[in-house]
Every structure is written in C-alpha cells, then in structure tokens.
Structure 1
Amino acid sequence: MTWVEAIVLGIVQGLTEFLPVSSSGHLRITSAIFFGRDAGASFTAVTQLGTEAAVLIYFFKDIWRIVRTWCLGLVDRSVRSSLDYRMGWYVIVGTIPIGIFGLLFKDQIRTAGRDLRLVATTLILGAIVLAFAEYWGRQTRTLENFRMRDGVIMGFAQAAALVPGVSRSGGTLTAGLLLNLTRETAARYSFLLAIPAVVISGVFSIPDVFEPSAPGTAAPSGAQMIVATVIAFAIGYAAIAWLLRYVAHHTLYLFVLYRVALGSLVLCLLLTGTINAT
C-alpha cells in the first residue's frame, strides 16, 4: 500500500463511518476507482478502531454512566429500572446478531461480499428502504421509550451491514425510524451499539491486515495503518457532532439521493469495464 492510498482511505473512513452511506462500501469503491485494487475487509475493520475511539471520547460521560450503572445493577436491584442499566443490556443483546453472523459468514464477507456489483446494488436498495422509513416513520419515541425489542431489531439491522454497501448507521437508522424512534434517538443508540462489535472486529483483524489472504489486496505497513486510523479518528470525531446536529433538524433524503447516485455510478463503471467487480 502506498502512503497516498493509506491517507486517502483514512479520510474516507472518517468521513463516511457515521453517515448512512456505508464506509466499507466507500473504501471498496475508492480503492477500486483510484488504486485499482482492494484494501481488504481487515483494513476496513482496523481503521474503524479510529472512528470508534472517537465515539468513546465523544460519548465518554454517557458510556461511563451506562457501564457503571449496569455493573451496579448486577448486585443492586434498586437501579435496575433506570434507563442506563437497561441501555447496557440493550447494547449487549443488540450486539449478539452481528457477532453470530460475523463468525458464520467470515469467509464470505472477506471474498464474495466485496464484489462491487453487490456493493452497488445494496447501496441503491438500502436507499429505497431508508427513504420509505423516513417517509413512514412517525418519530414519536425517544430514548425514554426505548425497549429491548427495539435493541434486538436494530441489532439485526446492524448485522446486515456486514455486507459492504448496506451501512451500519444506515441500517440502524432505517430500523429505528420504522420503529417510530426519532432520528436523533436512533443515531445515539446506533453509536453505542457499534462500539462492542467494531472494537472486537478491529482488534481481531489486526494480524490479518498485514498479511491479507485475498489475492490483489493491498497490505499496509504498521506506520501506514496507524496514520490511516488516526486520520479516521480525527475526521470521525467531527463527523459525529455534525451528524447529530443534522438529523435533529433535517430528513435523510439527501443520503438517499447520494446512495442512489453512487450506486448507479459504480454500476455504469462496471458495465463499461472501467473497473472490475472483484
């Protein structure tokens, strides 16, 4: 991997991780169009450690309060009715689907799942579902109304993002809107829900990123991996604040249009032979 490639992909990861446009899909597309190869699923997973570090810092007070209350609630019944204690369980249970599917389909995620035809198709189909959720969702429920059922459903939506192009935040925001949650509520739970899955996936992918098994995959040096991850952290931190402000006052139709346009562009590039699907 060249330094330009590492820096560009770090920027792309930071810009797109929290937007409902699929960061993994963007890394795959960017690699194919500008560098003629695939950075690989492991590179994506490790750079996501940077953006998740941004989440840990941005929501540190909330995360610490939830973790402390959850631990206390294991021995003290009096705190078990609190939202923070319940939110701890919502995140734990909501993480289970992506853990199971990630293990079951690990090989497919690293190979067939990175086919650009699939990425482009899921970008467009995901946009259609997101548009329906934005139009249909009543957005009457806040975190105080959040229930275990919501956590499980949004957990399965997060698991769908194992396919590049679906989008972790896009899937969870879509599910949240269909459950009549406000956009801001769905976004906040989405940030919390991603932490365990992304951190575990990133840590376990570190050895693979330097010795990729997929043919044609670019292997970064340790220094390049660190720089890309730090860049993703810095840009991702700013993106969190921007997204929370945006969803509080705007619809998600802008992202719908963007996903359709990008997916259509990739399909055109594939049909003309400008880029290869694999």
Structure 2
Amino acid sequence: MDWLQVVVLAIVQGISEFLPVSSSAHLILVPVLTDWQDQGLAFDVALHLGSLSAVIIYFRQEIWQMVVSSLAAISGKGVNEDARLALWVTLATIPVGIIGLLLHDVISHYMRSTLIIGFSLIGFGLLLGYADWRKQGTRSEYQLRLKDVLIIGGAQALALIPGTSRSGITITAALMVGMSREGAARFSFLLSIPVIVLAGGLEAIGLVNASHSIDWIAMLMGTLLSGVSAYLCIHYFLVIIKKLGMQPFVIYRVLFGAWLLWFFHF
C-alpha cells in the first residue's frame, strides 16, 4: 500500500467507527473511487486495534472502575453502579456476538450490496431522527434497567446489516428508552469495546490462516492514525450532540444513502 491509501483508510475507519453514519457505507466507496487494491486482513486488524485503543483510552477511568467494582462484586462485596454497568455492557453484547458468529459468512457474501446499504442509511437514519426528535430523556448510562439493556442489545444485532451503523442503532434504541443524548452515546461507545474485540478477533483468525507478507510500518501507521482520529471523533461527537443533537447526522445519512442509490442503481 502507498501512504495515501494508509492515511485515507485509517482516518475513514477511525471516524466512521463511532459516528452514527455507518463505517461499511464509507469504506465501500474507497475501492470504487480509487484503483487501490484490497488492503488485506492484517491492515484491517491494525485499524480495529487503533479504534479499540482510542475508546479504551478515552473511557479509561470508567473502565477501570467497572473492572475493580466487578471483581469486588464477584468476591461478595456487593454490586455498585460501576459493576452493574459492566454487567449491562456484557449482556448487551451477547445478541450481536451470537448472531454475528452464526451469520458472518451470509452477511459478508450476500448483504454487502450498495442497495442494502443505501436503504439502511436512509431508513435507520430517519429512525434515529425520530428518536432524537421525540421527548428528550434524562437518564445516564448508570441508570439503565435490564429491560433497557435487552432492547439496546437486540437493536445492536441489527447493525450486522451493512449501512445500519452500530453506534447509530444503539444510540437510537437508547434514546427510545429514555436516555439522554450524552448517556446514549457514552453507552454506545462502551458497547463498542467488546464488539470491536469480537470483530478484530474474527479477522485475526483469518490472518493466522493467511500466507501474505505483512507491511509492519503501514500497519503501525494505520493503527496510530485510526486511534488518533477515533479519539478525536469520540470527543467532538459528545460536544456536538449537546448543542445540535443527532439531526445533522440524520441529514447526512439520508443524503448519502440517496446518493449511493442514485450513483449505483439509477
């Protein structure tokens, strides 16, 4: 890979991984608009590692408290809000983990069409707009109930449909159950940690069975750029939604989805 390809792919991955705009929809455009060859599994793993590092660093204090409190709860010292949040993140990950493992090949081979991505961008984008437009909730990620977690976890499984956006659908479900915009976004970001680990793990398994040579410098640069762009994305997204809500992303999704449908199918 040349350096321009490394930079573009890393930044697109880092930003679109956490914005409610669908990373699959954006990454599919790269080979269409350029003559670049497929970057390979090794580079995909590197980009996921960068995104994972960014969210862990950004929420390092919350994650540390969740780990410490979970260990304390296991040892019989009681369950506090941090241990409960860790449990909620785990439970909400189960549906997407099971369905992703069962249907991974079906989704990767039969559902990555621009038609599905275009309609998913528009349909789930409008749903996000409705959830954000209706009466604003006030609950944070620490005030979730089991019913809320099951709804959000079930919704997250829909993100396996290309164009849906994992962050978009989880934020939509969280808003619908009465969470605040910031609380919904923060819980969505915490949910991304086990999901990225699962996705990166699947790619790493494929990498073990591959025999391609690895460009370690490109991988290191991709990891770094993906991580920095993802960290900045998380930070500024939380700032933007406090002032503007989700509507700018809804408008972008609808316009982008309509353009994809027009460009590829009309």
Q: Please, which runs of 5 or more residues in structure 2 have no aligned partner?
A: none
The corresponding residue for 1:149 is 147
Moved more, 128-137 or 173-182: 128-137
Secondary structure, aligned partner of 1:161: helix
| Cα shift at 1:263 | 0.9
CA deviation map 1:67-109 (0-9, x unaligned): 11011101224x31x1101111101111101110111111023
- Matched ranges for 1:1-278 at <5 A: 1-35=1-35, 44=44, 46-77=46-77, 79-80=78-79, 82-208=80-206, 221-271=215-265
CA RMSD in angstroms comes to 2.5
Contact 2:46 2:222 in 1 (8 A): no
State the alpha-carbon separation in 1 of the partners of residues 26 and 207 from structure 2. Answer: 18
The aligned amino acid for 2:50 is G
| Cα shift at 1:143 | 3.0
Please, what TM-score do these two structures have when normalized by structure 1?
0.87
Contact 1:137 1:177 in 2 (8 A): no
Identity %: 36
Moved more, 186-195 or 132-141: 132-141
Q: 1:260 and 1:130, CA in 2 relative to 1: closer, same or farther beyond 3 A?
A: same
CA deviation map 1:9-54 (0-9, x unaligned): 1111112211100112211123322347765788656522211210
Q: 1:32 and 1:188, CA in 2 relative to 1: closer, same or farther beyond 3 A?
A: same
Aligned length: 266
State the alpha-carbon separation in 1 of the partners of residues 71 and 180 from structure 2. Answer: 28
State the alpha-carbon separation in 1 of the partners of residues 151 and 51 from structure 2. Answer: 24
| Cα shift at 1:221 | 3.8
